[in-house]
Structure 1
Amino acid sequence: MRRSIALFGLPILVLAGCAAPGSGPAAPTAPRPAAPASAPPATAPDQRWAAFYQQAGAVADAWRPGQAWRSGYVPLEEGTVLTGDPGFTDETKLAFSNGWFREQIALPTATPAAGTIRFPDGTLRVPLISAAEAYAQLDKGDPPPCAGRPAEPPPGGGVPKPGGGPTVEPGPDGPVSRTADHPCVPLTVTGVKLGSAPVRTSRGQATVPAWLFTVEGLRTPVARLAVAKPAIGAVPAAVDPGRPLAAGLVTAQDLDTVDGARLDYRVGVGACDTGITPLVLERDDVVVVGAGVIPPTGPCTMQLVMKPVSVTLKAPLGGRAVLDVARGTPLTVVRPR
């Protein structure tokens, strides 16, 4: 499920080997051909990225999560998640990514009874919030003014501001208009019910109580997690690796998808960097990720560009933390961009 994060120039270390001559009473045996310089031993990491493995090892050694990480509820996704493929168009994806919603129903304000989070290693009872409170967290506001939609209200029109003052143009319930590329409109909520949603947590993939909002134009509901704030554990602070990131290495920004042993994540690279190589250090309790790049030899704009990369672990991620190699930051899954 998708809802899914220091730069530049590392010298390349070239390893060459030569075979020892044979020994014995007869003439020496001819030496064996040297292994190609570009091929490190099959069991060793690529020596070009030795600095990554040194830094990743320091980050992994310093990782010390608290008790909540192991026995509480620490979500590693945003509070708004998708329950399946919504069938986004460009317009609906833009609205979802920005949190533009409007409701056409009365939202229940009653607080439901406690709910149960189901982890791979057990369950946890937690307090919940009402549908109205969940919607208030879901909705991030109205779309901004865009082409064809005036920033200033028409003379004699608009909606009065609370408490008096000048009027403003109608919000998302007003006329639809468009930007150059996409319509400037919100998603319309037409129904809501209490259910659950799959969420990546510090204890692996969990089933978490959620308010499921039916949205016009989407094939599946949009879920807003229903767990009350007092029951939500904080993601641990970043680990200090004690050294700056070596040149030629770049940071991981966030996760896009966790699918068994596959991790899709984004790295921040320079605008002219090439040869992006995803890098991973995998341990039993933690995974550290980043990437290597080939920096430009000439001038380039000072610009950070987000690039998607993927790695496949030796084993499914499970409840292991995924940390960024530069800052030791636990990475979380972000909503579609």
Structure 2
Amino acid sequence: MRPVAALLSLSLLVVAGCAPAGSEPAAAPPTDRQWPAFEQRAAEVADAWRPGPQWRDGYVPLQEPTVLAGDPGFSPDTLTAFQAGWYRDQIPLPADRPGDGTIRFPGGTLTVPLASAEEAYRQLDQGDPPTCDGRPKDPATPPPAQPSGPDAPMSSTPGSACIPLTVTGVELGSVPIRTSRGEAEVPAWLFTIDELTARVARLAVAPTAVGAVPQPTAPAAPLPAEVVGAQDLRAVDGATLTVRLGVGACDTGITPLVLERDDLVVVGGGVTRSTGPCPDVLKIEPVTVTLRAPLGARPVLDVNTGLPLRITPF
């Protein structure tokens, strides 16, 4: 049977409520046939998906290489530091590469070379934070006293981070990562951070063993005007996907859309475009979609580019 695009649950930003007594019943949700442009585009994307053998037999991660091993207990400052990659090491970092590691997929294992802790830290650390007035970069140093009164200088913006995250320990372990072959346990260097309640993991697989995401051939025609593409995945929970759509600043009627096949899923959205003047600004809209079956190892493809989406939790 030819698969069709299913119209799914509304955006995360919409909250259902109870209708007042005497009100008209809510209109039935539109059917997938009201979005034929998405259906046709999604089918073209699905038909063009032809990944190579590395997608099926190798290691192709579909998440960022830096992940959290638990709830970090972020403050505004530490969240900013984590997102920017600001770290300082307070321990010696082993420079020797360990022996080969094992990636454990749902359907098998793969032996891969590993990077050293020192190499992982160099990839993790993206530089130093800027200096903020009245707040030192060294957390152990108390901030200088600030003058008071009407002529006192303005302080730094609340929540702006001026300190790096302090690395106080490291060990080799593993973390669950979404890959082209489903969720796998992947070797990772686990860094203990003084300011966080969870360790920061940097995937330890050597770059030579990391496969590239396939570059599919997108449909030749431009994206239909009433259809928008997906930017990334925020989360996968069984059959529930949290997807971020890229919509226009004045778009309304934002509706998540999905084409589900046995071997892949294509996601996007339908919108009503504004007919009046509107800023040319991309707005990120989070939505949820619920599949007929758990996602498993199936890739989630963007209806615009045909690319498989990666999980980016922040």
| TM-score interval for Structure 1 and Structure 2 normalised by the shorter chain | 0.7 to 0.9
**1:48 Cα deviation after fit:** 2.3
Q: State the identity %.
A: 62
Name whichever of 237-246 and 210-219 sits farther off.
237-246
Name whichever of 56-65 and 297-306 sits farther off.
297-306
| Structure 2 counterpart of 1:136, one-letter code | R
- Is residue 130 of structure 1 aligned with residue 107 of structure 2? no
Q: Which residue of 2 aligns with 1:47?
A: 33
Q: Which residue of 2 aligns with 1:181?
A: 158
* Deviations, residues 60-91 of structure 1 (Å, cap 9, x unaligned): 00000000000100000011011122121222
Q: Which residue of 1 aligns with 2:98?
A: 112
Q: Secondary structure at the match of 1:105?
A: coil
Q: Secondary structure at the match of 2:267?
A: strand
Cα separation, 2, equivalents of 1:147 and 1:241: 51
Cα separation, 1, equivalents of 2:56 and 2:134: 52
Query: Which of structures 1 and 2 has the bigger CA Rg?
Result: 1
Summarize the alignment of residues 122-271 of structure 1 with structure 2, pairs less than 5 Å apart: 122-148=108-134, 179-182=156-159, 183-271=161-249
| Structure 1 counterpart of 2:60, one-letter code | V
- Is residue 283 of structure 1 aligned with residue 261 of structure 2? yes
Does the Cα contact within 8 Å between 1:147 and 1:180 map onto a contact in 2?
A: no
* Deviations, residues 188-208 of structure 1 (Å, cap 9, x unaligned): 111100000000000000000
Q: Which residue of 1 aligns with 2:62?
A: 76
Q: Which residue of 2 aligns with 1:35?
A: none
Q: Which residue of 1 aligns with 2:284?
A: 306
Cα separation, 2, equivalents of 1:40 and 1:114: 53
* Deviations, residues 82-113 of structure 1 (Å, cap 9, x unaligned): 11221212221111111111111111111100
Does the Cα contact within 8 Å between 2:248 and 2:280 map onto a contact in 1?
A: yes
Does the Cα contact within 8 Å between 2:228 and 2:245 map onto a contact in 1?
A: yes
Does the Cα contact within 8 Å between 1:213 and 1:222 map onto a contact in 2?
A: yes
Q: Which residue of 2 aligns with 1:15?
A: none
Q: Which residue of 2 aligns with 1:161?
A: none
**1:217 Cα deviation after fit:** 2.2
**1:39 Cα deviation after fit:** 5.4
* Deviations, residues 136-189 of structure 1 (Å, cap 9, x unaligned): 01111111344447xxxxxxxxxxxxxxxxxxxx96679687841323221111
Cα separation, 1, equivalents of 2:79 and 2:139: 19
| Structure 1 counterpart of 2:80, one-letter code | L
Cα separation, 2, equivalents of 1:198 and 1:40: 37
- Is residue 59 of structure 1 aligned with residue 45 of structure 2? yes
TM-score normalised by L of structure 1: 0.78
Cα separation, 1, equivalents of 2:223 and 2:202: 37
Does the Cα contact within 8 Å between 1:40 and 1:47 map onto a contact in 2?
A: no
Does the Cα contact within 8 Å between 1:176 and 1:185 map onto a contact in 2?
A: no
TM-score normalised by L of structure 2: 0.83
Cα separation, 1, equivalents of 2:282 and 2:193: 35
Cα separation, 1, equivalents of 2:38 and 2:142: 50
Does the Cα contact within 8 Å between 2:265 and 2:300 map onto a contact in 1?
A: yes
Unmatched 5+ stretches in structure 1: 1-37, 150-169
Cα separation, 2, equivalents of 1:309 and 1:65: 27
- Return closer, same or farther for 1:218/1:171 CA change in 2, 3 Å cut-off: closer
| Structure 1 counterpart of 2:253, one-letter code | G
**1:238 Cα deviation after fit:** 3.2
| Structure 2 counterpart of 1:299, one-letter code | P
| Structure 2 counterpart of 1:180, one-letter code | T
Q: Which residue of 2 aligns with 1:11?
A: none
Q: Secondary structure at the match of 1:200?
A: strand
Q: Secondary structure at the match of 1:253?
A: strand
Q: Which residue of 2 aligns with 1:154?
A: none
Does the Cα contact within 8 Å between 2:137 and 2:163 map onto a contact in 1?
A: no
Q: Secondary structure at the match of 2:294?
A: coil
CA RMSD of aligned residues (A): 2.0
Cα separation, 1, equivalents of 2:274 and 2:180: 38
